[in-house]
Amino acid sequence: MATPIKTSKKTICLEVPIFSPAAALQSQSLPIARIELNARGSYPAGGLTPRLQDVQCITSLTISSSPSPSPSSPAPTRPSIRVMIRPRVARDGERDYIYSDADFETMLSSVSTLVSDGGLDPSRGDGFVFGILRMAAGDGSPRARGRVVVDVARNRRLVDLAKRRGLSCTFHRAFDEILRDDGAWDETTVADAVDDLVACGFDAVLTSGGPGRAVDGIESLRVVVDKATKRGLDVLVAGGVRSGNVDDILSGLRGGGGRTGTAFDPEDGGMEWEAGESESMSGRVWMHSSCLRPGDGETVDEVEVEALLDRLKLT
């Protein structure tokens, strides 16, 4: 392995999924870098597309509720917003994130409407979160049968709609379904999936390195972080991320340097590049945590947010 020649100091930021307008407004008082906006009450379903009215309410409130800046103070900021685009959960017997033509038209309509009327602001890093899969054509081998891959054609159409207004796009945890099948993941599987995301034009991927919790998928997560960040994608580490286990997650990512060829320093968010690699092509690592109060699918637990940020050394 070549000797790393450069280190980038990049802060690990926190993204929090939100499941009500009230929680979105609550998040303004917290040092959260970004919120993922979902339909009201859709936490048990893993997040669904919110109503246009709720998006408009949040974008207008987060702008109008901020005090006017004085000449001696910086302009007020609000968290960046990524809106979930997911029309439904999987039906019985279906693979998740594989959609009918009617579902896809609904997704196109949602993005188009929110681009024009949602009040999203590209200068704040606003955008969308979505992911569409398809069954792999395969080569007839047992491993290929029944596997899912990124649906490049459909995802690219959605990304193109968003990019016309400069809005960013994250590929959500549909990515983890690609790693689910019969333990089929390997570095080639991850690299191929990352290549597909780049071809679609995505800016980031939300993942736990496979189904389940991030802390249980460290081995594959290290590979995803390596492959994705080297292609310029941000990686949002998700799946049960909490203040009580984020140290283990970050320690596990640090331990990936020997295997993947990329050394991740969670204390400063830095990545090291091997000789010949470009710092400008490297993505950032984020943490994604619901931070909800126990037994409550909507209210953000402010104590947990502060504790998690403390572990990320942002406070």
Nearest-angstrom CA–CA distance, 62 and 7: 35
Contact yes or no for 207/225 (Cβ under 8 A): no
* Per-residue pLDDT at 236: 97
Report phi then psi at 207, rounded to 5.
-160, 155
Give the dihedral of Cα atoms 265, 268, 274, 278; nearest 10 deg: 150
Given this model, what pLDDT does residue 254 score? 82
What pLDDT is stored for residue 143 in this prediction? 53
Q: Which pLDDT tens digits describe the chain residue by residue (315 residues)?
A: 222 223 234 578 999 999 998 898 888 888 899 999 999 999 999 999 999 999 998 888 655 444 444 444 444 467 899 999 999 999 888 889 999 999 999 999 999 999 999 999 999 999 999 999 999 876 444 455 578 999 999 999 999 999 999 999 999 999 999 988 645 568 899 999 999 999 999 999 999 999 899 999 999 999 999 999 999 999 999 999 999 999 999 999 987 443 333 445 444 444 443 433 444 458 899 999 999 998 887 899 999 999 999 999 743
pLDDT of residue 277: 43
Can you identify the CATH homologous superfamily of domain 7-61+81-311?
A: Copper homeostasis (CutC) domain (3.20.20.380)
Task: Supply the pTM of this predicted model.
Answer: 0.84
User: What is the reported pLDDT for 92?
Assistant: 83
pLDDT for the residue numbered 7: 28
Provide the pLDDT for residue 155: 98
Write out the two tokens for 296.
């409550």
pLDDT at residue 184, as a whole number: 56
